[in-house]
Amino acid sequence: MPIHYTAEEVSKHNHKEDLWIIIHNGIYDVTNFLKEHPGGEEVLLNLAGEDGTECFEAIGHSPEAKHLRKMYKIGDLADSESDKPEQGSTVKPAMTTTQAIIADEEPWDYVEHKEESSPWILVFTGLAVLVYAIIFYYVF
C-alpha cells in the first residue's frame, strides 16, 4: 500500500536539499533530479513543496519523461474530504498508481492533443511561391 502525505507535509520539503513536488496527486522527491532536469533547477525550485500538475502538463512532457518520473515517486497525496465525490455521485474513481504501473499506463486519463495545421499556411506558401515565380520570370 502506498504511503500517503498531506499537502502540508509536502510543503515542508521546499528547498534545494529536500525537494518534493505533487503531480496528479502523486508525491515525487526530485532532490536528486534537480541538476539533471532539462528545464533547469529553477523550474523545480519554483514548484518546491507545491502542486506542479498544471506546469507539468503545460510543458507537454514526453512519454519518456513521464516514465522517468515514476522513479522519483515516494507516495500519494492523502485524500481530503473536498477531493471525494459527493454521495450518490456517478464519478468513476481514478486508477490507482499500482494498477497503472501494472497496466503500464498513467494513473489518470491523459489525452494527447495533436496540433492541426492551419489551411492558411498552404495559402500563404502558395502565394509566396507564385510571387517568387513571377519575380524570377521577369528578372531573369
pLDDT tens profile 88-98 = 444 444 444 44
CA 11 remoteness from chain centre = 19
CB contact at 8 A, 21 and 30: yes
Looking up cell 506546469 gives 55
How far is 31 from 17, CA to CA, in rounded Å? 6
Identify which of 48, 60, 58, 55 has the alpha carbon closest to the alpha carbon of residue 21: 48
Percent of the chain with pLDDT over 90: 33
Q: Tens digit of pLDDT for each residue in 53-87?
A: 888 888 888 888 888 888 999 999 987 544 444 44
Fold assignment, 4-80+91-114: Flavocytochrome B2; Chain A, domain 1 (3.10.120)
Chain-centroid distance, C-alpha 68: 12
